[in-house]
């Protein structure tokens, strides 16, 4: 025994030492020792009052003992339990006399609680009584240690009860709750001793007293989550606890103040059985009066920093009260919903005023704490509130929010700011945004009037930016009010009109800044920084651009908005020259162009926009920068500008003019791509990222060029604008399709995006370019295995397929030459993919495998005649079989999709001649050696082992499809696989009974399970194999 204790002490010393190797060795020894029976006596020896046991060793011993009780109490022989508890109690009493050993003593309290709870209600009740005796003796003698011990044990018992499973917790709570009033007396006496500023020796125990009291109040035997006693019951039985806790909220010790705040937040929440309405109302009123007293104290103080914690805590408790009964906070008849309407509570109205004044006078943390108070208040219909809780309140709140929304006065950039960007952005975009949304709902048109007045009086760019932010965050409700006005007679329509007029005035000022900056040429906003707030600082420009984007639907959907389109676009074009504003300006430009396209699509306007964009658009993607909203975006934001112009071009009535403008839009982009190619002597020197970015801009240029009517003004059918654009850029694109450029994924992925966008826009009108596209995609993939080539090919086969009129339910590529081109492309790509997947593990080229199987699936859906007649089909099925055994999520999903489409194409499609004749190849593979048998084994093994969890049902459904198609032979394969004793894994085989029951259910021919239940049964079996479910999960399927 002595040697073992010495070894453990030495190991603890090594664990706390600096030698990493010895730390590892010591940790392994201690972990092993804890699992032995000797740990019981060792832990007792370590907590003994012995010079060999310094405080850290005692704490380690107490912690070891706690873990041992939690994990192995049931293994300790019954005769040893009583002596063990007595030894712990003696050690605890001794340690309480040693201030340095307080942490170990607290841990021993938890040990005592853990042992009693595991010994049943009687033992737990006895420990509670022991704690009460400790407290009584401590109060009588003035010994703080006894009271400390009592509080620690009380809290530990309640916490330990809460950690038990529901039935044990319920039984213990039912046994202990009747003593709650008696137990709370300890906390009450501690808190009462410090009321009125008394410097009692018990003052240092207030945090522990509040924790113990709250732990017992939360010991809910019903499992509802509320407190055992309601505010009324608590005030009637332990009024001193409530009074003392209220005073503790103002304690200088933040731990005490926070504990008191948490106490009241929990106590006022609904859930406990209430006493009479009068008692509940009196108790709540008492708490409100206490908060008002604290609030007045805070507001009377000159030092806002020193009183911030108390202000925040007052707001937290006030918010909990408002959540309990928002009607009362709003001045409506409240506590008893069945009572007749009564006069509003003056205390609650005063509390609302106090909370608002605290948010006005203090910094952000107080506003954060009070936010939910006002949000809950606004859930009460305005007609049911006291007048002071309506528009006047929220007008003041909006002003307070505006003040809190300002960036620091010394702000230059987030890199240099003391302010934490993420914290500030979260506060503005979540908390203030919600509050301002509620303010606008109350103020209606008055909201923009207030923001506009504040903007006009702004004395700093920070103030101006905050006003712009305030205008932006209410864009959604404002747009709804204006664009979808209420049909009720009277006010709502008038309010919407006033809001629209104010918005016109606001954006008119923005437009004036845009016109002036545009007239200033290269100087831009710098020329008007001192005369127009919207050009006063790059951050203001960025915020304004973001606001414009938010109101794009208004610009395009109202007459007043139409009047501001031109100058607002001027502003955005100038904002594109401000690096800090580029991201939001580009996205806003796209939004405005999309919403206003039909008013911008005359040739002169489009030409002007094109000229302006080509002058302002950077020659390279702007450097990724962190904007004022705290976001990083690695995408090329120039594409948003290109897409905006493309949306306008796509709305032009004349497709010939649209094609000309689209060519003009793409020409400088193609030219820059060619410059990047020419600037590099070889591929290693090329800026492939810049080259790929330019090619993606061409994709952005054709993305929205969808034209249903290709008849020009002369009545002649003309070339599709997307095809015309692609044709114009083809010299550059064809050069990139060749070596060495097509070896670079950055380039080929961008090219495939161009082809995909063009195919989706032009559809079958892309037929003249299709042979070139198929050749480029095929050659690039065969040479370098770019998955994006297969993705683009899959889009092409879908675009060029059509329902077969002779075979309802089947699709095909109608043109024989086109079908042959698709067949050649499939064969070449499938052979290249198969060769690649055969040479190295699928996990190392998962994207190639995923794209290959998805391509085959698309062929099965849209060109089944091509796939079923292709020599590549059976090798693809073999590769899919191997892929199912991996844990690559996308690969397994794609492989399952392909095989499912081949084995079960659907009732309607499967009955067509295409599938009836073509499935001979599929059937031959399934019935061949290494085909169906291997497939069933692979599916079962994957489901029971490593298949991604969300794909278990598709695996089961594919198994059902195989069984439905091939009948009894599938049952033989299935039984052979599952009856293997090592299924699904030799290291972790499934239970014999579960495997037997599964085989019976899966192969049952008499009264078979319906398809959906069969699949559900298979999934349950997979979960049993994975140890995620018990074998009883199959019982329901046997009934």
784-793 pLDDT tens trace? 999 999 999 9
Of the candidates 317, 389, 400, the one whose C-alpha atom is nearest the C-alpha of residue 362 is 400
Is residue 2 pLDDT above 80, yes or no? no
Residue 427 DSSP symbol: I
Residue 635: phi and psi, rounded to 5, are: -70, 160
Which residues are CB-contacts of 60 (< 8 A; sequence separation ≥ 6)?
A: 12, 46
Q: Which band of pLDDT confidence, cut at 50, 70 and 90, is reported for residue 343?
A: very low
Contact predicate 650/706, CB 8 Å: yes
**Helix (H/G/I), strand (E/B), else coil: 717:** strand
d(CA 741, CA 743): 5
Contact predicate 801/863, CB 8 Å: yes
pLDDT of residue 270: 85
pLDDT of residue 144: 85
Q: Which residue has the higher pLDDT, 490 or 151?
A: 151
Written as six digits, the tokens of 183 are 């137990």
Which residues are CB-contacts of 854 (< 8 A; sequence separation ≥ 6)?
A: 790, 791, 794, 894, 897, 898
Number of Cβ within a 10 Å radius of residue 1029: 16
**Helix (H/G/I), strand (E/B), else coil: 273:** coil
pLDDT of residue 49: 84
pLDDT of residue 395: 96
Q: Which band of pLDDT confidence, cut at 50, 70 and 90, is reported for residue 197?
A: low
**Helix (H/G/I), strand (E/B), else coil: 329:** helix
Contact predicate 125/175, CB 8 Å: yes
Number of Cβ within a 10 Å radius of residue 619: 10
% of the chain at pLDDT higher than 70 = 95
pLDDT of residue 340: 41
pLDDT of residue 3: 76
The stretch 4-20 carries a mean pLDDT of 87
Task: Look at 338-342, 358-362, 455-459, 644-648 and tell me which has the smallest mean pLDDT.
Answer: 338-342
pLDDT of residue 365: 94
Of the candidates 1000, 904, 916, 891, the one whose C-alpha atom is nearest the C-alpha of residue 960 is 904
Residue 154: phi and psi, rounded to 5, are: -60, -45
Contact predicate 528/516, CB 8 Å: yes
Measuring CA to CA, how many Å separate 983 from each of 896, 957, 994? 21, 20, 11
Give the max Cα distance, the chain: 108
Helix axes 254-267, 239-248, angle to 10 degrees: 130
Contact predicate 439/401, CB 8 Å: yes
Contact predicate 958/903, CB 8 Å: yes
pLDDT of residue 489: 45
Q: Which band of pLDDT confidence, cut at 50, 70 and 90, is reported for residue 190?
A: very high
pLDDT digit string, tens, across residues 515-551: 999 999 888 898 888 888 999 999 999 999 999 999 9
Residue with tokens 């078979």: 1008
Residue 992: phi and psi, rounded to 5, are: -60, -45
Q: Which band of pLDDT confidence, cut at 50, 70 and 90, is reported for residue 488?
A: very low
Is residue 721 pLDDT above 70, yes or no? yes
Is residue 341 pLDDT above 60, yes or no? no
The stretch 687-702 carries a mean pLDDT of 94
Task: Look at 20-29, 160-169, 482-491, 804-813 and tell me which has the smallest mean pLDDT.
Answer: 482-491
Is residue 492 pLDDT above 80, yes or no? no
Please count the residues of the chain.
Answer: 1039
d(CA 856, CA 863): 10
Task: Look at 139-143, 423-427, 696-700 and tell me which has the smallest mean pLDDT.
Answer: 139-143
Give residue 630's region: left, alpha or beta (phi > 0; psi -120 to 50). Answer: left
Of the candidates 355, 421, 423, 363, the one whose C-alpha atom is nearest the C-alpha of residue 388 is 355
pLDDT digit string, tens, across residues 808-817: 878 889 899 9
**Helix (H/G/I), strand (E/B), else coil: 711:** strand
pLDDT of residue 979: 92
Is residue 407 pLDDT above 90, yes or no? yes
Within 631-769, residue ranges assigned H as helices are 638-650, 655-679, 688-702, 721-736, 745-762
Number of Cβ within a 10 Å radius of residue 430: 12
Helix axes 721-736, 655-679, angle to 10 degrees: 10
pTM for the whole thing? 0.85
The stretch 894-898 carries a mean pLDDT of 96
Is residue 356 pLDDT above 90, yes or no? yes
Contact predicate 543/580, CB 8 Å: no
Contact predicate 268/321, CB 8 Å: yes
d(CA 178, CA 286): 26
pLDDT of residue 632: 53
d(CA 401, CA 925): 70
Which residues are CB-contacts of 707 (< 8 A; sequence separation ≥ 6)?
A: 650, 655, 658, 720, 721
pLDDT digit string, tens, across residues 967-1024: 889 999 999 999 999 999 888 899 899 999 999 999 988 778 899 999 999 999 999 9
d(CA 589, CA 592): 5
CA Rg value for the chain: 37
d(CA 712, CA 618): 34
End-to-end C-alpha distance for the chain, whole angstroms:
59
Q: Which band of pLDDT confidence, cut at 50, 70 and 90, is reported for residue 224?
A: low
The stretch 72-96 carries a mean pLDDT of 88
Residue 571 DSSP symbol: H
Residue with tokens 């205390």: 347
Residue with tokens 């033989």: 972
d(CA 669, CA 694): 6
The stretch 797-812 carries a mean pLDDT of 88
pLDDT digit string, tens, across residues 759-779: 999 998 999 999 999 999 999
Give residue 1027's region: left, alpha or beta (phi > 0; psi -120 to 50). Answer: left
pLDDT of residue 487: 53
d(CA 265, CA 255): 15
């Amino acid at each position: 025994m002595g040697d073992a204790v010495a070894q453990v002490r030495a190991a603890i010393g090594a664990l706390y030492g600096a030698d990493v190797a010895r730390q590892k060795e010591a940790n392994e020894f201690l972990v092993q020792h804890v699992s032995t029976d000797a740990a019981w006596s060792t832990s007792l020896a370590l907590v003994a009052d012995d010079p060999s046991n310094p405080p850290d060793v005692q704490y380690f011993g107490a912690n070891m003992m706690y873990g041992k009780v939690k994990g192995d109490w049931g293994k300790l022989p019954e005769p040893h339990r009583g002596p063990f508890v007595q030894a712990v109690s003696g050690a605890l009493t001794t340690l309480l006399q040693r201030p340095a050993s307080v942490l170990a003593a607290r841990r021993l309290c938890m040990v005592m609680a853990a042992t009693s709870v595991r010994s049943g209600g009687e033992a737990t009740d006895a420990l509670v009584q022991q704690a009460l005796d400790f407290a009584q003796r401590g109060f009588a003698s003035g010994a703080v240690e006894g009271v400390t011990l009592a509080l620690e044990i009380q809290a530990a018992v309640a916490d330990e009860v809460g950690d038990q499973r529901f039935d044990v917790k319920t039984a213990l709570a039912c046994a202990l709750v009747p003593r709650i009033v008696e137990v709370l007396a300890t906390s009450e006496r501690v808190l009462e001793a410090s009321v009125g500023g008394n410097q009692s020796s018990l003052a240092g125990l207030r945090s522990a007293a509040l924790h113990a009291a709250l732990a017992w109040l939360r010991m809910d035997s019903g499992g509802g989550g509320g407190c055992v006693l309601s505010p009324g019951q608590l005030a009637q039985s332990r009024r001193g606890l409530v009074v003392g806790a209220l005073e503790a909220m103002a304690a200088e010790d933040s731990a005490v103040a926070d504990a008191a705040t948490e106490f009241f937040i929990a106590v006022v929440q609904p859930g406990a059985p209430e006493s009479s309405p009068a008692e509940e109302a009196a108790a709540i009123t008492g708490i409100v009066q206490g908060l008002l007293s604290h609030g007045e104290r805070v507001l009377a103080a000159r030092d806002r920093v020193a009183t911030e914690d108390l202000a925040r805590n007052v707001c937290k408790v006030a918010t909990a009260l408002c959540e309990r009964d928002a009607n009362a906070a709003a001045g409506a008849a409240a506590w008893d919903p069945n009572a007749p309407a009564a006069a509003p509570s003056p205390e609650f109205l005063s509390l609302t005023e106090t909370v608002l004044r605290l948010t006005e006078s203090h910094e952000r943390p107080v506003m954060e704490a009070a936010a939910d108070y006002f949000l809950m208040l606004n859930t009460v219909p305005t007609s049911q509130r006291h007048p002071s809780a309506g528009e006047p309140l929220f007008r003041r709140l909006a002003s307070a929010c505006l003040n809190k929304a300002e960036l620091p006065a010394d702000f230059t950039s987030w890199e240099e700011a003391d302010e934490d960007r993420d914290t500030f952005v979260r506060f503005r975009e979540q908390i203030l945004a919600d509050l301002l949304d509620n303010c606008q709902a109350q103020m209606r048109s008055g909201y923009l009037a207030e923001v506009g007045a504040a903007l006009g009086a702004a004395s700093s760019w920070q103030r101006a930016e905050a006003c712009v932010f305030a205008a932006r965050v209410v864009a959604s409700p404002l747009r709804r009010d204006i664009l979808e006005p209420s049909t009720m007679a009277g006010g709502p329509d008038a309010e919407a009109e006033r809001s629209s007029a104010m918005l016109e005035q606001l954006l008119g000022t923005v437009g004036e800044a845009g016109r002036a900056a545009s007239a200033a040429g290269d100087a831009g906003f710098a020329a008007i920084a001192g005369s127009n707030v919207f050009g006063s600082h790059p951050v203001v420009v960025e915020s304004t651009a973001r606001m414009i984007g938010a109101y794009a639907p208004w610009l395009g959907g109202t007459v007043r908005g139409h009047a501001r389109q031109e100058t607002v676009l001027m502003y955005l074009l100038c904002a594109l020259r401000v690096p800090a504003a580029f991201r939001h300006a580009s996205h806003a430009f796209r939004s405005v162009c999309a919403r206003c396209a039909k008013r911008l699509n005359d040739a002169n306007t489009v030409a002007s926009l094109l000229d302006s964009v080509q002058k302002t658009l950077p020659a390279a993607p702007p450097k990724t920068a962190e904007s004022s909203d705290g976001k990083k975006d690695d995408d090329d934001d120039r594409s948003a500008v290109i897409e905006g112009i493309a949306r306008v071009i796509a709305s032009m009535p004349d497709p010939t003019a649209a094609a000309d403008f689209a060519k003009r839009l793409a020409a400088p982009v193609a030219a820059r791509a060619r410059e990047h190619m020419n600037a590099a002597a070889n591929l290693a020197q090329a800026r492939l990222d810049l080259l790929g970015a330019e090619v993606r801009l061409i994709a952005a240029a054709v993305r929205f060029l969808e034209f249903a009517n290709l008849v020009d003004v002369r009545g002649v059918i003309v070339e599709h604008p997307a095809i015309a654009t692609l044709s114009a850029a083809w010299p550059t694109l064809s050069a990139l399709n060749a070596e060495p450029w097509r070896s670079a994924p950055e380039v080929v992925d961008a090219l495939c995006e161009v082809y995909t966008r063009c195919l989706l826009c032009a559809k079958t009108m892309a037929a003249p370019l299709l042979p070139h596209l198929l050749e480029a995609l095929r050659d690039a993939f065969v040479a370098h295995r770019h998955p994006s080539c297969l993705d683009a090919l899959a889009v092409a086969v879908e675009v060029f397929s059509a329902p077969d009129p002779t075979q309802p339910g089947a699709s095909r590529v109608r043109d024989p030459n086109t079908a042959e081109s698709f067949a050649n492309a499939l064969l070449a790509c499938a052979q290249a993919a198969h060769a690649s997947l055969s040479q190295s593990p699928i996990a190392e080229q998962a994207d190639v495998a995923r794209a290959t199987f998805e391509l085959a699936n698309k062929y099965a859906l849209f060109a089944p005649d091509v796939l079923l007649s292709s020599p590549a089909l059976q090798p693809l099925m073999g590769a899919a079989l191997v892929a199912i055994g991996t844990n690559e999520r996308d690969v397994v999903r794609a492989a399952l999709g392909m095989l499912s489409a081949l084995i079960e194409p659907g009732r309607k499609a499967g009955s067509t001649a295409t599938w009836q004749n073509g499935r001979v190849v599929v059937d031959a593979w399934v019935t061949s050696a290494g085909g169906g048998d291997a497939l069933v084994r692979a599916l079962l093994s994957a489901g029971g082992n490593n298949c991604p969890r969300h794909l278990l049902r598709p695996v089961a459904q594919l198994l059902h499809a195989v069984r439905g198609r091939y009948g009894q032979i599938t049952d033989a394969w299935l039984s052979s696989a599952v009856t293997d004793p090592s299924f699904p894994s030799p290291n972790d085989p499934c239970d014999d009974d579960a495997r037997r029951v599964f085989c019976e259910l899966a192969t049952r021919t008499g009264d078979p399970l319906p398809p959906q239940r069969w699949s559900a049964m298979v999934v349950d079996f997979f979960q049993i194999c994975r140890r995620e479910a018990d074998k009883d999960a199959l019982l329901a399927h046997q009934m």
